[in-house]
């Protein structure tokens, strides 16, 4: 592409100027001509046919009529006519024109630009009026329609793009019509010099239209077919470069990074596997096989393990650690919270009993004496597996030979924190990395957020795990819900009550949490009931104390914010109450629901909803009641809310900004683009072939600098 034209500041485009440029920058993030032509319409209005006035109804989204002006009235504030205003145009507040075609009559009304419109709409003149029908005094009219000459630039036979807009843009004079005019100017300057970033062979093999054609047709489509071709081309281009940028990093690393060779399964693995009281699921076996292939390949493993709550990821992690130990290396498991680290330690210690492998726990609250012993055991190699929090990446922690790092709920760790694990191996060869997440991520998003990691999915639940009954309850059933909680507690069960604390600074949320806590304590008084509370304003010691009290069964009810979303394992808790459930996304609701149903008792998730809930929220909550499949919920969540909310990462956190493609709706194009990127890189990993020069040039741009959190290196 001609950089000079595309990098030209938008204010120098005819019809823009400094004031409009400032508005476009602040409202649409448009700074240059290149930014403008990559700002696409989000929908199109079909201007290809005219409506008859007699057929207009107020329910129509928009209508287009060709009509003759019969008469024009000017009205003042009091609604009375203003005759011959002369220099008194300030007294005129409304222009009403009576217009007609062969089928009937209607009115068009203007509150702005009255003097200019009065000069145009002379009785007898014929115009095309386009706008939304409204009803006033039982009569249909068009308020502020667009007005065009029948033979002008916008007339029958055109699909017209509608661009993103705001009140500030409209008030600043940047209407839809102005945007179309600016786009015409921008395209006229850019298209003659634009260079296609996709080489000719890709256009031919994938049947894609050239960039200049695609840009012209996306903004000013001649028909639906041209629009479809343009849209597909631009979406493919965005998703292809997104995948190419991720995969190129992966290719470079897989060729450059020598990995620790672990050719054996080893005795510890077999001892643990043979002592298991149950059969692994088919999905667990498949994933272990994939991991096994990585570890004996001679390249460094960088694998993401995705599995729903309760699918058996921990067991896979344990067996993976034992492969490392069986080959003479050490393994570490890093968790985001002390509670989760302690939980992992308790579970993993049980699994390791038949193996004789020594396991230790290191967290911020580990005492000085214990810490000294652990450091010594890691350095002399007597500790085979270490479980811990951020404490594992402190400089004082040194290993004899770290062969594997397992990172749980990886999006909770910063890139720099994870990369410090690399330096832990004295031999200089980086350890194998297994990243685990219980957040179900749609495949399209996983391919993008974690695009340079290999992906394994445990998509099968162990047999015997009980179904959790999910109920949607309104405010009017609150007392009945309290009685239900009491009945469950009488059976010896425990209850979570979770409040939405979306932002820790929101006073309203804390107010709700405090009021909720007071209400619970009122209905569940001492000494019959004990209620613990956990939230983000407490110190880690307070949180730890209250969570431990609940986990140990000393409290019947834990009132909390979403801090319990990750990693509180209380098998005796059989009820999860989620207050203001409409304020959560599906993925988060599903994570919270996964905190119950871990023991033998029948479990329940009660979604308490507010009185005023949008139709979309209602749909989301009803879907929660219908399915326990985290991947189905995650897909739906992304379709409803966009990818931004799933992992607490905005879509702008992706390696490139997507202007037209959608991870929620263009999964097939994304899969195709990724497969094709693999095909291109298989043939030319460094993109050094002359035919791939355009691809290499495009990837050099700043926007492809990887910022996503899958980068471990």
Given 437, 457, 490, the domain boundary residue is 437
pLDDT value at 644 more than 50? no
Predicted local distance difference test score (pLDDT) of residue 435: 87
Tokens at residue 269, please?
Answer: 């693995």
459 assigned to some structural domain: no
Residues 415, 282: Cα–Cα separation, whole Å? 33
**Radius of gyration of the CA atoms of the chain, in A:** 32
Predicted local distance difference test score (pLDDT) of residue 299: 86
CB 596 within 8 A of CB 569: no
Q: What is the mean pLDDT of residues 211-217?
A: 97
- Residues 525, 590, single domain; the answer is yes
Residues 108, 143: Cα–Cα separation, whole Å? 6
Residues 497, 287: Cα–Cα separation, whole Å? 35
| Window from 93-107, 165-179, 673-687 with minimum mean pLDDT | 165-179
Predicted local distance difference test score (pLDDT) of residue 472: 95
Residue 87 — pLDDT band, cuts 50, 70, 90?
Answer: confident
- Residues 176, 91, single domain; the answer is no
DSSP three-state, residue 277: coil
CA triplet 496, 500, 506: central angle to 5 degrees? 135
Q: What CATH number is attached to the domain comprising 111?
A: 2.40.50.140
Angstrom distances, CA of residue 91 to CA of 74, 87, 98, 119, 204: 10, 9, 21, 17, 64
Residues 388, 413: Cα–Cα separation, whole Å? 13
- Residues 411, 322, single domain; the answer is yes
For 328-361, what is each residue's pLDDT tens digit? 999 999 988 887 888 889 889 999 999 999 999 9
Q: At what angle do helices 282-295 and 313-326 cross, to 10 degrees?
A: 30
Q: At what angle do helices 176-190 and 211-219 cross, to 10 degrees?
A: 160
Closest CA to 152 of 182, 130, 131: 130
Predicted local distance difference test score (pLDDT) of residue 527: 92
Residue 143 — pLDDT band, cuts 50, 70, 90?
Answer: very high
DSSP 149-177: -TTSSS-SS-EEEE----HHHHHTT--HH
Tokens at residue 326, please?
Answer: 């069986």
Residues 293, 636: Cα–Cα separation, whole Å? 33
CB 402 within 8 A of CB 431: yes
- Percent of the chain exceeding pLDDT 90 equals 49
pLDDT value at 606 more than 50? yes
For 4-41, what is each residue's pLDDT tens digit? 888 999 999 999 999 999 999 999 999 999 999 999 99
pLDDT value at 202 more than 80? yes
CA triplet 426, 427, 431: central angle to 5 degrees? 90
CB 461 within 8 A of CB 281: yes
616 assigned to some structural domain: yes
Residues 389, 337: Cα–Cα separation, whole Å? 6
Please enumerate in sequence order all residues whose Cβ is within 8 A of that of 79, keeping only pairs 6 or more positions apart, or say none.
none
Beta partners for residue 331, in sequence order: 385, 404
pLDDT value at 710 more than 50? no
Predicted local distance difference test score (pLDDT) of residue 631: 72
- Residues 2, 90, single domain; the answer is no
449 assigned to some structural domain: no
- Residues 27, 95, single domain; the answer is no
For 471-513, what is each residue's pLDDT tens digit? 999 989 999 999 999 999 999 999 999 988 644 455 555 557 7
Residue 608 — pLDDT band, cuts 50, 70, 90?
Answer: very high
634 assigned to some structural domain: no
Tokens at residue 138, please?
Answer: 């039982």
Please enumerate in sequence order all residues whose Cβ is within 8 A of that of 592, keeping only pairs 6 or more positions apart, or say none.
496, 498, 562, 564, 565, 576, 578, 584, 605
- Residues 22, 167, single domain; the answer is yes
Q: What is the mean pLDDT of residues 200-206?
A: 97
Residue 312 — pLDDT band, cuts 50, 70, 90?
Answer: confident
Q: Within 13 A of 343's CA, how many CA atoms are on the CB side?
A: 19
Q: What is the mean pLDDT of residues 357-379?
A: 94
225 assigned to some structural domain: no
Please enumerate in sequence order all residues whose Cβ is within 8 A of that of 138, keeping only pairs 6 or more positions apart, or say none.
none
Q: What is the mean pLDDT of residues 653-679?
A: 80
Residue 708 — pLDDT band, cuts 50, 70, 90?
Answer: very low
- Residues 585, 481, single domain; the answer is yes
pLDDT value at 651 more than 50? no
Q: What CATH number is attached to the domain comprising 511?
A: 3.40.50.300
pLDDT value at 645 more than 70? no
User: Which residues constitute the domain of residue 357?
Assistant: 283-297+311-437
263 assigned to some structural domain: no
Closest CA to 199 of 653, 641, 699, 708: 699
Mean pLDDT, the chain, as a whole number? 85
Q: How many CB atoms lie within 10 A of CB 707?
A: 13
- Residues 515, 431, single domain; the answer is no
Predicted local distance difference test score (pLDDT) of residue 501: 67
DSSP three-state, residue 256: helix
Q: What is the mean pLDDT of residues 686-692?
A: 94
| Window from 95-104, 164-173, 498-507 with minimum mean pLDDT | 498-507
Predicted local distance difference test score (pLDDT) of residue 113: 86
- Residues 134, 182, single domain; the answer is no
Q: What is the mean pLDDT of residues 570-589?
A: 88
Q: What is the mean pLDDT of residues 400-421?
A: 71
Predicted local distance difference test score (pLDDT) of residue 648: 34
Q: What CATH number is attached to the domain comprising 184?
A: 1.10.150
- Percent of the chain exceeding pLDDT 70 equals 87
- Residues 76, 183, single domain; the answer is no
- Residues 585, 489, single domain; the answer is yes
pLDDT value at 410 more than 90? no
Residue 709 — pLDDT band, cuts 50, 70, 90?
Answer: very low
DSSP three-state, residue 88: coil
CB 333 within 8 A of CB 317: yes
Residues 192, 93: Cα–Cα separation, whole Å? 46
Predicted local distance difference test score (pLDDT) of residue 545: 87
Tokens at residue 322, please?
Answer: 């034992």
CB 312 within 8 A of CB 280: yes
Residues 623, 638: Cα–Cα separation, whole Å? 13
Give the residue, 561 or 128, on which the prediction is more confident: 128
Q: What is the DSSP letter of 1?
A: -
Residue 403 — pLDDT band, cuts 50, 70, 90?
Answer: very high
Predicted local distance difference test score (pLDDT) of residue 506: 54
Give residue for tokens 């990724």: 674
- Residues 426, 515, single domain; the answer is no
Given 416, 437, 458, the domain boundary residue is 437
- The total domain count for the chain is 4
Q: Is the peptide bond before 527 cis (omega within 30 degrees of 0)?
A: yes
Name the most confidently modeled range: 146-150, 181-185, 430-434, 640-644: 181-185
673 assigned to some structural domain: no
Q: What is the mean pLDDT of residues 245-261?
A: 76
Given 99, 130, 156, the domain boundary residue is 156
704 assigned to some structural domain: no
For 257-280, what is each residue's pLDDT tens digit? 678 999 999 999 999 999 998 899
CB 98 within 8 A of CB 127: no
Residue 592 — pLDDT band, cuts 50, 70, 90?
Answer: confident
């Amino acid at each position: 592409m001609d950089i000079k034209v595309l990098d030209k500041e938008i204010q120098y485009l005819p019809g823009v100027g400094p004031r409009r440029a400032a508005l476009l920058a602040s409202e649409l993030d448009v700074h240059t001509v290149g930014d403008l032509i990559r700002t696409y319409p989000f929908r199109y209005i079909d201007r290809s046919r005219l409506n008859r006035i007699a057929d207009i109804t107020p329910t129509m989204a928009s209508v287009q009529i060709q009509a003759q002006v019969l008469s024009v009235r000017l009205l003042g504030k009091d609604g009375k006519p203003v005759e011959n205003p002369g220099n008194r145009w300030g007294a005129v507040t409304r222009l009403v024109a009576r217009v007609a075609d062969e089928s009937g009559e209607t009115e068009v009304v203007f509150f702005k630009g009255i003097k200019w419109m009065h000069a145009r709409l002379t009785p007898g003149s014929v115009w095309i009026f386009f706008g939304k029908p409204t009803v006033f005094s039982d009569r249909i009219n068009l308020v502020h329609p667009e007005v065009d000459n029948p033979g002008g630039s916008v007339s029958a036979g055109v699909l017209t793009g509608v661009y993103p807009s705001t009140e500030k843009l409209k008030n600043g004079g940047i209407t839809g019509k102005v945007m179309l005019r600016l786009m015409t100017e921008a395209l006229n300057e850019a298209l003659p010099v634009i260079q296609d970033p996709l080489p000719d062979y890709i256009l031919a093999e994938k049947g894609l239209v050239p960039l200049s054609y695609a840009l012209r047709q996306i903004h000013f489509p001649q028909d639906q077919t041209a629009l479809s071709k343009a849209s597909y081309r631009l979406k493919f281009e965005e998703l292809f470069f997104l995948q190419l940028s991720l995969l190129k990093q992966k290719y470079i690393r897989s060729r450059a990074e020598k990995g620790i060779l672990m050719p054996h399964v080893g005795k510890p693995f077999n001892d643990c596997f043979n002592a298991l009281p149950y059969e692994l699921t088919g999905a667990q076996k498949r994933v272990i096989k994939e991991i096994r292939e990585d570890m004996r390949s001679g390249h460094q493993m960088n694998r993401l393990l995705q599995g729903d709550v309760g699918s058996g990821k921990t067991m896979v992690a344990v067996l993976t650690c034992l492969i490392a130990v069986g080959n003479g290396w050490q393994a570490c498991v890093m968790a985001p919270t002390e509670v989760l680290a302690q939980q992992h330690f308790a579970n993993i210690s049980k699994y390791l009993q038949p193996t004789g492998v020594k396991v230790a726990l290191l967290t911020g609250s580990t005492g000085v004496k214990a810490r000294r012993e652990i450091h010594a055991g890691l350095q002399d190699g007597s500790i085979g597996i270490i479980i811990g929090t951020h404490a594992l990446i402190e400089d004082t922690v040194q290993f004899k030979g770290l062969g594997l790092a397992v990172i749980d709920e990886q999006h909770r760790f910063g890139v720099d924190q994870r990369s410090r694990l690399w330096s832990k191996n004295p031999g200089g060869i980086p350890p194998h990395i297994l990243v685990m997440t219980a957040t179900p991520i749609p495949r399209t998003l996983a391919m993008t957020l974690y695009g340079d990691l290999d992906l394994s999915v445990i998509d099968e639940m162990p047999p015997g795990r009980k179904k959790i009954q999910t109920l949607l309850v309104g405010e009017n059933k609150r007392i009945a819900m309290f009685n239900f909680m009491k009945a469950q507690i009488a059976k010896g069960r425990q209850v979570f009550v979770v409040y939405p604390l979306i932002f820790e600074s929101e006073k309203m949320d804390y107010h709700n949490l405090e009021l909720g806590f007071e209400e619970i304590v009122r209905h569940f008084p001492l000494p019959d009931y004990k209620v613990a509370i956990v939230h983000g304003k407490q110190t880690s010691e307070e949180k730890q104390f209250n969570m431990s009290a609940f986990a140990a069964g000393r409290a019947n009810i834990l009132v909390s914010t979403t801090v319990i979303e990750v990693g509180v394992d209380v098998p005796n808790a059989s009820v999860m109450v989620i207050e203001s459930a409409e304020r959560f996304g599906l993925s988060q609701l599903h994570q919270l629901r996964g905190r119950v149903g871990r023991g033998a008792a029948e479990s329940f998730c009660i979604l308490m909803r507010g009185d005023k809930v949008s139709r979309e929220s209602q749909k989301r909550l009803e879907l929660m009641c219908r399915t326990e499949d985290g991947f189905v919920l995650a897909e739906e969540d992304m379709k409803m809310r966009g990818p931004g909310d799933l992992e607490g990462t905005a879509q702008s956190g992706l390696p490139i900004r997507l202007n037209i493609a959608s991870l929620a709706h263009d999964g097939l194009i994304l899969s195709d683009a990724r497969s094709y990127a693999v095909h291109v890189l298989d043939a030319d990993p460094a993109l050094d072939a002359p035919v791939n020069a355009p691809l290499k040039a495009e990837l050099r741009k700043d926007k492809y600098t990887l910022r996503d959190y899958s980068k471990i290196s």
